[in-house]
Amino acid sequence: MDFAVMYHYVRPRSGWNGIFPLLPEEFEKQIDLISKTHNIVHLDELNKKSVKPQCVLTFDDGTRDQYVYAYDILKKKGIPAYFTVMSGPMLTGIIPVFHLVHVILSFKTDEEIWELLSSRYDVSNVEEESSIYHYEPNRLRRFNKYVLNFMLSQSESREVLESIFKTIFPDSLSFIKNFYLNVGDLKEMSQSGMAIGVHCHHHAPYNGNPHEFYKNEIMPCKAFLKETLGINSQWYTPAFGGGKMHERMRNEITPILRENGFRKGFTVNPGLMNGNDGFWIDRIDCVQLPPSRSSSINTVIEQYTTNV
């Protein structure tokens, strides 16, 4: 069965306790295992006949560790992958709230953050709502992430986060330069055969207005890729998978994406490539693949086949 894998950070942890990266050596082991049973292909090759089932490697958020570690491994092995771009930080100097959250959670204790949040805001419903972060073993970490990413408004979260961020990284432009993929990275990756696609501009969840959302979050990134790389991107991966309104987003935004030349989009829904509606492709999170948890690629695929 064909499947796509979803990656985010691929890097050593190095003190960043607010993220759960896949270590580079684990990433290399994963793609070696996948290669035994599947052809890892470029997005443009998805419709081509293949003796073995196919796999697509996808990367969200456009962080520079993907260039430094993942791309370096892929380049050495001659394996293609699909990298998405977040244009906002490079063009505006504004760091998305969710990455500010990762920074703060890495360099401040959960107790410190929770004390600040609970003293300022009504967080009475956070216990139940924060279950979307079920994979977080630390209770206060779940609460903090939910409040900062979803409960507070963007302006409220940003006010809290930036006040702390500035005490850790006073030069935000230098942080952006080192934290995100830059034009030089993207040019090299594109020229070496990697697929480059649209992720977002500001990493905002879907707001319920498809035309406004396309104008503010998708179009600027697509234009950025065209202007800097000469790429008319046909691939889209929404931030947060669309957020709470992800199903509504897919229904409402798909016609607009098609009208603007997009061929495929990727969800954060767990599943195989087979059985998608023709535009949206489900993915398997990399943490579900060997050597992280399961004994073989086929074991994982069988589980998803059973669940379909």
Give me the CATH code for the 3-86+181-307 domain, please.
3.20.20.370
pLDDT band, very low/low/confident/very high, at 3 (cuts 50, 70, 90): very high
Report which of 275, 287, 281 is spatially closest to residue 237, judged by C-alpha positions. 281
Overall pTM surpassing 0.85 (yes/no):
yes
- pLDDT tens column, 76-107: 999 999 999 999 999 999 999 989 999 999 99
Question: What is the Cα gyration radius of the chain?
Answer: 19
Contact 50, 41 (CB under 8 A): yes
- Cβ atoms < 10 Å from Cβ of 76: 9
What are φ and ψ of residue 283, in 5° steps? -140, 160
CA distance 85 to 62: 5
Spans of all domains in the chain: 3-86+181-307, 97-170
DSSP-derived 3-state class of residue 42: coil
pLDDT in tens, 97-142: 989 999 999 999 999 999 999 999 999 889 888 888 887 889 999 9
Residue 293: CA atoms inside 13 Å, Cβ hemisphere, count?
A: 9
Nearest to 160 by CA among 149, 171, 175: 149
**Of 24, 25, 2, 20, which is closest to residue 11 (Cα–Cα)?**
24
In tens, the pLDDT along 245-297 reads 889 999 999 999 999 999 999 999 999 987 555 899 999 999 888 765 555 78
